[in-house]
Amino acid sequence: MDRATLVATILAPLSTHAVEISSLPAAVEWVQIRSDIAGDISAEWLRNYFSGKLLYSLRSARSGGEFRGTQAERSKRLLAASRYYDLIEFEADSDLSSELLELIPARKRLISWRGPAQAASRLKSLFEETAVPAHSYCMISNAATTSDGLQPLLLLNELQRRDLTAFSEGPCGLWSRLLAPYLGAPFLFGQVNDNGRLGGELSVHQFVADYGFPALRPVRKVFGMVGNRIFQSPSPRLHNAAYRALNYPALFLPFHVESFQEFWRELVESPAFCRLGIPIGGFVMVSPHKEAALAVAAHASEMARKAGATNVMVCRNSLWEAHTTDPESISAIPRDGTLKAAVIGCGGAGRAVAAALQQAGVEVTLVNRGRERGVYASGLLGLPFMLLSEFLGRNYNLLVNATPVGKNNDCLPFDVDSLNRNTTVVDLAYGAKPTPLVAAVVARGGTAIDGFDVLLTQVRKQFQILSGKKMPDEIGREMVLNGNPGRCGSEEGHLHGDTLHAMEAC
């Protein structure tokens, strides 16, 4: 199989002219109507707007849906839909009655099972118990931990069927949904819009732009991002686009991790992942796991050791190495003895930036909202520390915001009016638009380095460490904005004076 079958799931009533469907990527072959939420929609009407195939689902409450009617009502609606829809979802624990099986032919049945995380052996038994003749089958478990996603993939790997889709749902299981097509799962289910992204539900648009679906390129190694606030990151789009451009057989996945110890023990060090035949090559580490990751590394770079944190882990010769690209955040800043810098935020990124500035001979002061982490960073680096409540920007000509404040366009990390006109501000936070800090600095006529420029600099370095290759130059800001490489109308670079680099400029 060299293509996955993209399925767009409708989770709300459609607009009058079904613009939600007409705006779908051309690669979408199926539309799934969740009739328990969107209501029963005429298949004949849908075909006016969609030329592909239609899947009817009436998800019950016991399977995480909204239908709470009687079984008789349920059977009546499934039977009515089967006259016009191409495929009808049967729930394995309720819909396999002889009546429905007699009236709905096997070619129109999708048999699904949903439940808690199970070992692959148990999933196999459940599948064998419910595998009546059908067009296709789905085994979907709820992932409570990141390693839960391994089990349905091990099932796919063992059975080697081309009519079985198996993965784990939920933030911790999203990575398994994305990897499943490479192990034979025919269907890849995605939402019509991005409303579920924070909960680990991606849209079909993201499947295409971030992961290159429906094409299934050869994948011989997995890389990924590890953290618990990762689903809005553009890193998967950038890394995967570079793999495609270089014809490099790898896939970059999002690993939502609550417990780093569990993730490392049960997934990274587990022999089970090796059984899939796609070894893990490395990770980009984000908050809050940068310190815990450093502790498990066999080797660490000098800067990672000094900062007490890592944001890149790579496996070489079966040993894990820890690196940090956070110092790249200030790579464009001339560093000399005339600079007085303040680094706001004493997490792993802030400590690495402060260490790089310190190494270059810059006078550095650490600033943090809380005292405990600030004192820890101060002792680790031998740098002075002050509380954010005591901070005055006018005393510095370089300021680095290493906190997430402003990433969601929420607020400013400090009073911008306290800055001198000649202060250069580097904001590590980024979002769909310039952060409030960047916008405020530029509005005052100051100089700001946008968080997206910082991100791209770091991603390029991370890509080189992980793959050993240079990321193509055309992979940049436009790739994040519209999924296509190449230049756009505005010039890439830093924000200077009144030339605000609005994210929607392209």
Residues classed as catalytic = 290
Integer angstrom CA distances of residue 258 from 145, 232, 348, 496:
7, 17, 17, 39
Take residue 147 and report the two structure tokens written for it. 């390693």
Tell me the C-alpha distance between 174 and 225, whole Å. Answer: 12
Strand, coil or helix: what is 456? helix
Distance CA 369, CA 381 (A): 18
DSSP of 89-130, one letter per residue?
EEETTTS--HHHHHHS-GGGEEEEEEEE---HHHHHHHHHHH
| Dihedrals phi, psi of 366, to nearest 5 degrees | -90, 140
For residue 152, say if its preceding peptide bond is cis, omega within 30 degrees of 0: no
The DSSP output letter for 318 is T
CA distance 443 to 421: 11
Residue 466, phi then psi, degrees to nearest 5: -75, -45
Q: What is the C-alpha to C-alpha distance for residues 308 and 115, in angstroms, rounded to an integer?
A: 40
CB atoms within 10 A of CB 444: 14
| Residue carrying the six token digits 């007490």 | 308
